[in-house]
Amino acid sequence: MLDNLTNRLSRVIKTLRGEARLTESNVADALREVRMALLEADVALPVVRDFIAAVKQKAMGEEVIGSLTPGQALVGVVQRELSALMGGENAALNLAVTPPAVILMAGLQGSGKTTTSGKLAKFLAEQKKKPLLASCDVYRPAAIEQLRSIAAQLQIDFFESGSAQKPRDIALAALDYAKKHYHDVLIVDTAGRLAIDAAMMQEITELHAALGPAETLFVVDAMQGQDAVNVAKAFSDALPLTGVVLTKLDGDARGGAALSVRQVTGKPIKFAGVGEKLAALEAFHPERMAARILGMGDVLSLVEEARKSVDVAEAQKLAEKIKKGKGFDLEDFKQQIGQMRKMGGLSSMIDKLPAQLAQAAQAQSADMGEKQMRRIEGIINSMTPQERARPELMKAARKRRVAAGAGVQVQEVNRLLHQFEQMQKMMKQMQKGGMAKMMRGMKGMIPGMR
Amino acid sequence: MFSFLKKSAEAAPAPSWGERLKAGLARTRVQIGGLFGGGKIDAALYEELEEALLCADTGVAATQFLLDNLRQQVKKKGLSDSRELKAALREGLATLIAPLERPLLIEGHQPFIIMLAGVNGAGKTTSIGKLAKFFQAQGKSVLLAAGDTFRAAAREQLTIWGERNQVAVITQQGGDPAAVIFDAIQAARARKIDIVLADTAGRLPTQLHLMEEIRKVKRVIAKADASAPHEVLLVLDANTGQNALSQVKSFDDALGLTGLILTKLDGTAKGGVVAAIARERPVPIRFIGIGEGIDDLRPFIAQDFAAALVDSD
Ligand SMILES: Nc1nc2c(ncn2[C@@H]2O[C@H](COP(=O)(O)OP(=O)(O)OP(=O)(O)O)[C@@H](O)[C@H]2O)c(=O)[nH]1
Ligand SMILES: Nc1nc2c(ncn2[C@@H]2O[C@H](COP(=O)(O)OP(=O)(O)O)[C@@H](O)[C@H]2O)c(=O)[nH]1
Ligand SMILES: [Mg+2]
Ligand SMILES: [Mg+2]
């Protein structure tokens, strides 16, 4: 596992202590660490280079020299600069035009355009808008069927098209239809295309000209690497983009592409895709993203929140235990569930987390999670300390006793033991992982969460 | 939750930024393009080489490794010309990734069962379409299993690839991927088919329950045929940055990978992360994808790949 930037910097910064002021030579090491962290997070090299230059300039300035702890000031400069570059407050869709307002989707193959089209339609319908979905992807097999089926799932109007038609004809007919049927918004999905495919880039330029969209959204995969700058530049040259959607943030990519794309296009990232489900769309939080890119994201913010309500010493003890490969037993399981409850139940805890977990928050009913947690606690409470420490003792007779004690069916005890076993396996798999990773893992273990 | 919609903060970028970046990009391009003109070997040259590798997604550690190696070569062989340096770097890279060049051999089992896995949108289904053509061209019979029961119209997408190849596609109405693939294996056996290609839904390694689901798919395949699956392929998108390495590790830990397919190399992404994969988790790259068409599949040739990466501008 890569060190996160905080660790690295604190190491470097120790050597800075006691020096009267920051000089080019004594921040050089720290800046090298920042550069590495950004590159490891997939921020494109030219962007990294300019960023480092900017930080250096700021660090050489008064802010730092006047500060009592130069090391802290440098970390501060890095974080501030990065958040500033990611953009300020999250930006909204701007659909204030004579209806129908058109949203045109663009991006590479597989970046998430079709799914995001569906997510936006759902989101707008919830705002009491009347969206229409149309697909101009006549190339990828079953692409139109994919959007049709998403629309049906959402009960949102779908404009029929076929793969024998021309994309521009579909777009114009859909626009006409939207006007006639008083749709507020027309969302036009397009085929994935490579930035160097001149004919396809020409096609989308023409689609844009025909539709005059209010929003032209560039859909980017959070896992994308260095090439993000080139691709973003080509799309932004071909189309007057109005915003970016960053998808697949539910993964563990650091998402440096966000910074690359933001810099090249100069356009705000308006949404984050945080799951495959159609509800998994979120506002984009620049400051969270900055922290994530630097590798200080999820763990720090979770620990921050957790500190308020959770026994940190307990959590650390557990983390230690797991790190050392010692058994994770039912008592620990219970404690963890208790802690999650103290943090205000699963859903509220997940709200505090960065994007990765929001998918789960959308999918599960908070009530069910809460109730389930209490039942699990009840079952474990009915076990003896020996049983909690050695769950393999739980044979049929003991199971019956515990079930009776907790007032549940034996099947439920079985289910708990099975869940626990899964969890134990998971713990073994991520002995190196932090708390956030652990929590992330739990979402699959708790019933009612996908 | 979406209260941000009310705000209309259009965060304007600093005007100078875009210009600066464009200049920056141009700088990189010129540097790398004019890199090997035949001049002296100096620190600046190494720095430019480092940039070329980093821009190809090679990653910090693998780049460092390749450059250290290069420095040794320069000393040992007494290289003095920047053109020789280029050849040496290409050689170093080719040597590093050469162990990944191990073509897939279909032998010893009938049906030979190939399972594909990967993150969302990597190109699994498309690769199956291409593989079906590839194997049929070798005189093998093929059957497809529609194991992606989650994504909208995934079944229809695979069915179209089946039609293009004129091969049967086994699908099910319901939702269990393992069951569909199990069925397909039975069907292949009954029909004396040579190869089963099993599609699966895309999943991110952070979704532990979905990783558990795909492990189950593998177990169920083994129930249909104790020696199967005979090949477990991870499909990787060449556009992916350093996360590709963690994808390889996670899927390998979960499934025991036997091969990789690297897709979308027809774009400008170079897939340099392969160097990191070669160092840390050397799973053979069976094929590369170079387009959306049925013929756009090629074997992985380490020399060619290295040349494309180092010659890149
Ligand atoms: N985990 C996760 N998966 C996503 C997200 N957005 C999209 N996907 C998945 O990514 C894959 C590709 O998404 P699509 O919406 O089909 O992408 P596309 O850009 O329309 O793809 P093409 O039309 O083939 O170019 C699908 O499996 C989606 O379910 C996301 O935010 N998180
Ligand atoms: N340019 C290009 N596009 C590809 C390649 N392989 C797949 N694609 C496209 O990538 C997108 C996602 O592919 P798909 O097979 O549906 O991915 P899956 O979700 O992993 O099954 C589709 O639009 C494909 O046409 C390739 O080698 N090059
Ligand atoms: Mg699509
Ligand atoms: Mg697929």
Q: What is the pLDDT of residues B160-206, one digit of tens each?
A: 999 999 999 999 987 799 999 999 999 999 999 999 999 999 999 99
Tokens of B15: 């005007």
Q: Which residues of B touch A447 (CB under 8 A)?
A: none
Q: Which residues of B touch A126 (CB under 8 A)?
A: 2
Q: Which of A336-345, A368-377, A402-411 bottoms out in mean pLDDT, i.e. has the lowest?
A: A336-345
Residue A426 contacts B where some CB pair is shorter than 8 Å: yes
Among A40, A149, A252, beta carbon nearest to B205: A252
Asked if residue A386 has pLDDT above 60, the reply is: yes
Ligand 2 atom 23, closest CA: A109
For residue range A76-127, list pLDDT tens digits in order: 678 778 888 888 667 899 999 999 999 999 999 999 999 999 999 999 999 9
Q: Which residues are within 8 A (CB) of B66 and not within 5 positions of it... i.e. 6 or more apart?
A: B53, B58, B89, B92, B93, B96, B275
DSSP B272-292: THHHHHHHH----EEEEE-SS
ipTM: 0.88
Ligand 2 atom 9, closest CA: A109
> Taking the mean position of all CA atoms in its chain, how far away is CA A253?
9
Closest residue by Cα to residue B32 from A238, A55, A230, A43: A230
How far is A203 from chain B, CA to nearest CA, in Å? 17
How far is B127 from chain A, CA to nearest CA, in Å? 13
Residue A253 contacts B where some CB pair is shorter than 8 Å: yes
Q: Which of A21-30, A351-360, B291-300 bottoms out in mean pLDDT, i.e. has the lowest?
A: A351-360
Q: Which of A29-33, A135-139, A162-166, A171-175 bottoms out in mean pLDDT, i.e. has the lowest?
A: A29-33
Tokens of A443: 């979402």
B-contacting residues in A 306-335 (Cβ below 8 Å): none
Residue A242: CB atoms within 10 A of its CB come to 21
Q: Distance between CA atoms of A74 and A128, rounded to whole angstroms?
A: 47
Burial A202-239 (b: 16+ CB within 10 A, else e): ebbeebbebbebbbbbbbbbbbbbbbbbbbbbbbbebb
Closest residue by Cα to residue A57 from A84, A77, A80, A30: A77
Pair A156, A133: CB distance under 8 Å? yes
Minimum-distance ligand 2 atom for the alpha carbon of B121? 19
pLDDT (0 to 100) of residue A327? 67
Q: Distance between CA atoms of A341 and A349, rounded to whole angstroms?
A: 9
Can you tell me which residue has the tokens 């090679």? B58
In three-state secondary structure terms, B294 is coil
Q: Distance between CA atoms of A434 and A295, rounded to whole angstroms?
A: 12
Handedness of CA A263, A266, A271, A275 (dihedral sign): negative
Mean pLDDT computed over A50-58: 88
- B154 alpha carbon, closest ligand: 4
Contact A250 B59 (CB under 8 A): no
Q: Which residues surround ligand 3, an ion (CB under 5 A)?
A: A 113-114
Can you tell me which residue has the tokens 């999650």? A340
Tokens of A144: 């139109």
Contact A268 B11 (CB under 8 A): yes
Tokens of B157: 């997408």
CA distances B100 to A39, A343, B130, B262, Å, are: 25, 47, 21, 12
Q: Regarding predicted confidence, which is higher, A354 or A268?
A: A268
Residue B60 contacts A where some CB pair is shorter than 8 Å: yes
pLDDT (0 to 100) of residue A299? 37
Q: Distance between CA atoms of B65 and B232, rounded to whole angstroms?
A: 29
Pair A273, A245: CB distance under 8 Å? yes
Among A50, A110, A141, beta carbon nearest to B24: A50
Mean pLDDT computed over A176-205: 97
Residue B191 contacts A where some CB pair is shorter than 8 Å: no
**Quick one: CA torsion of B212, B216, B222, B223, rounded to 10 degrees?**
150
Contact A142 B6 (CB under 8 A): no
The half-sphere exposure of A336 on its side-chain side, counting CA atoms within 13 A, is: 24
Q: What percent of chain B has pLDDT over 70?
A: 87
Pair A174, A201: CB distance under 8 Å? no
Closest residue by Cα to residue A87 from B9, B8, B2: B9
Residue A356 contacts B where some CB pair is shorter than 8 Å: yes
Q: Which residues of B touch A127 (CB under 8 A)?
A: 2, 5
Pair A34, A78: CB distance under 8 Å? yes
pLDDT (0 to 100) of residue A321? 63
Ligand 1 atom 13, closest CA: A112
The half-sphere exposure of A100 on its side-chain side, counting CA atoms within 13 A, is: 28
Pair B21, A47: CB distance under 8 Å? yes
Asked if residue B65 has pLDDT above 50, the reply is: yes
For residue range A368-378, list pLDDT tens digits in order: 466 777 788 88
pLDDT (0 to 100) of residue A190? 98
Residue A224 contacts B where some CB pair is shorter than 8 Å: yes
Ligand 2 atom 13, closest CA: B123
Contact A127 B159 (CB under 8 A): no
Handedness of CA B296, B300, B303, B306 (dihedral sign): positive
Q: Regarding predicted confidence, which is higher, A348 or A317?
A: A317
From B240, B292, B294, mutation site for ligand 2 pocket: most ligand atoms within 8 A of C-beta: B292
Asked if residue A135 has pLDDT above 60, the reply is: yes
Minimum-distance ligand 2 atom for the alpha carbon of B148? 21
Handedness of CA A26, A27, A30, A36 (dihedral sign): negative
In three-state secondary structure terms, A106 is strand
The model scores a pTM over 0.80: no
Closest residue by Cα to residue A142 from B124, B117, B125: B125
- Amino acid identity, position A362: Q
Among A45, A114, A263, beta carbon nearest to B54: A45
Minimum-distance ligand 1 atom for the alpha carbon of A192? 25
Tokens of A164: 């024998």
Q: Which residue of B has its CA nearest to A250?
A: B206
Q: Residues with beta carbon inside 6 Å of ligand 2?
A: A 109-110, 140, 192, 194; B 118, 120-126, 202, 235, 263-264, 266-267, 289-292, 296
Q: Which residues of A touch B129 (CB under 8 A)?
A: 141
Question: Is A411 exposed, middle or buried, given 0-12, 13-18 or 19+ CB atoms closer than 10 A?
Answer: exposed
Binning pLDDT at 50, 70 and 90, where does residue A305 land?
very low
Report the separation in Å between the CA atom of A149 and the middle of ligand 3, taken as the mean of its atom positions: 12
Asked if residue A207 has pLDDT above 90, the reply is: yes
pLDDT (0 to 100) of residue A83? 82
pLDDT (0 to 100) of residue B31? 42
Q: Regarding predicted confidence, which is higher, A377 or A364?
A: A377
Residue A82: CB atoms within 10 A of its CB come to 23
Asked if residue A58 has pLDDT above 90, the reply is: no
Q: Distance between CA atoms of A225 and A228, rounded to whole angstroms?
A: 6
Report the separation in Å between the CA atom of A125 and the middle of ligand 4, taken as the mean of its atom positions: 28
pLDDT (0 to 100) of residue A11? 60
Choose from B204, B236, B294 for mutation: most chain A CBs within 10 A.
B204
Among A39, A90, A225, beta carbon nearest to B239: A225
pLDDT (0 to 100) of residue B174? 76
In three-state secondary structure terms, B240 is strand
Q: Distance between CA atoms of B181 and B220, rounded to whole angstroms?
A: 8
Residue A145 contacts B where some CB pair is shorter than 8 Å: yes
Q: Which of A198-207, A211-220, B42-51 bottoms out in mean pLDDT, i.e. has the lowest?
A: B42-51
Residue A431: CB atoms within 10 A of its CB come to 12
For residue range B195-224, list pLDDT tens digits in order: 999 999 999 999 999 999 999 999 999 999
Pair A256, A5: CB distance under 8 Å? no
